Structure 1
Amino acid sequence: MPDQGWDVLSALGVVALVAVVVTAVVVLVLAITMIRRHRKVHQPGVPVSAKISYYGSIAYAVLPVDLLPDPILVDDIGVLAAALLYVGRVLRKFRRNRDEITGTGRK
């Protein structure tokens, strides 16, 4: 009977380890996706707010100062996902405006 407590504890440890690994992979994928937008963010005419969101989200994910301790990467996921949504929306709007001005939009 005393071994049953250790079984539960080891099972919780495995669940915690899997959760940490999964969140780390999600953060890595989001960070890589954000970094791939580097060239698009640095085009002339892209609003400064998109550049600030780009650098701020990457800095938040990399720097050790977080709202939650580092093994819990939920805050990093939230910051990167929000920045990806915002930067993506700004870049789409920027591309649409540029295409309208130059007349190279899709028909």
Structure 2
Amino acid sequence: MAVVVLLVVVAGFAISLLVRVFQARKLIVDAGVPLQSKALFWAAVVYTISPIDLIPDPVYLDDIGVLLVALKALHAAAAKAGADRKGLPG
């Protein structure tokens, strides 16, 4: 029972991060954000929904890591470019 609860909690966290990545996609339309950061956004989304994982686990640890890296990189690139982050999470 505890394993099921853990899986549900971690899956919920991964879904929450995926939603935050999609909310941050507004930043990728800004001209000042580098192409590398925009590509990282799409790579994180594809990796998260892909059935293929670097670490085959039922807990989504690698997916969460990829999403966190993508969010951090996108927000850092947007801040450096002076993009408007108003209303975005993170």
Tell me how far 1:70 sits from its aligned partner: 5.0
Tell me how far 1:45 sits from its aligned partner: 2.9
Unaligned runs of 5+ in 2: 85-90
Does residue 18 of structure 2 align to residue 21 of structure 1?
Answer: no
Q: Which structure carries more helix by proportion?
A: 1
Aligned residues: CA RMSD: 1.6
TM-score, normalised with respect to structure 1: 0.72
- Kept in 2, the 8 Å contact 1:64–1:70? The answer is no
Equivalent position of 1:75 in the other structure: 62
Which has the larger Rg?
A: 1
TM-score, normalised with respect to structure 2: 0.85
- Kept in 1, the 8 Å contact 2:32–2:78? The answer is no
Q: Residues 9-88 of structure 1: matches in 2 within 5 Å?
A: 14-69=1-56, 71-88=58-75
- Kept in 1, the 8 Å contact 2:44–2:66? The answer is yes
Point out 4+ residue stretches in structure 1 off by more than 2 angstroms: none
Equivalent position of 2:87 in the other structure: none
Tell me how far 1:27 sits from its aligned partner: 0.5
Give the number of equivalent residue pairs. 84
- Kept in 2, the 8 Å contact 1:57–1:83? The answer is yes
